[in-house]
Amino acid sequence: MNRKELEQRRDELQQRLKAVERDLGSGLDRDPEEQAQELENRDTLLEIARVAERELRDVEAQLRELDET
């Protein structure tokens, strides 16, 4: 990937992480059935965040390498 593509990917990942943080911070519904679904979704959101954070670290490392050359 070139610098522009890496920067675009970094921005996409940062936006994804912000969206996940918003979703996780929204709290639970009062309906117990809805709460159960939201808790299942929480696990999925946490995994999405974990993967995005790892990829973001990789992209930022690649950008730093480009800066050093």
Domain ranges within the chain, ordered by starting residue: 3-68
> What pLDDT is stored for residue 69 in this prediction?
79
> What pLDDT is stored for residue 28 in this prediction?
84
CA distances from 59 to 25, 31, 48, 52, 53 (A): 26, 40, 16, 10, 10
pLDDT in tens, 19-67: 999 999 988 889 999 999 999 999 999 999 999 999 999 999 999 999 9
Burial class (CB within 10 angstroms; exposed 0-12, middle 13-18, buried 19+) of 7: middle
H helices within the chain, ranges in order? 3-24, 32-68
Angstrom distance (rounded) from CA 12 to CA 17? 9
pLDDT in tens, 17-29: 999 999 999 888 8
pLDDT exceeds cutoff 90 at 13: yes
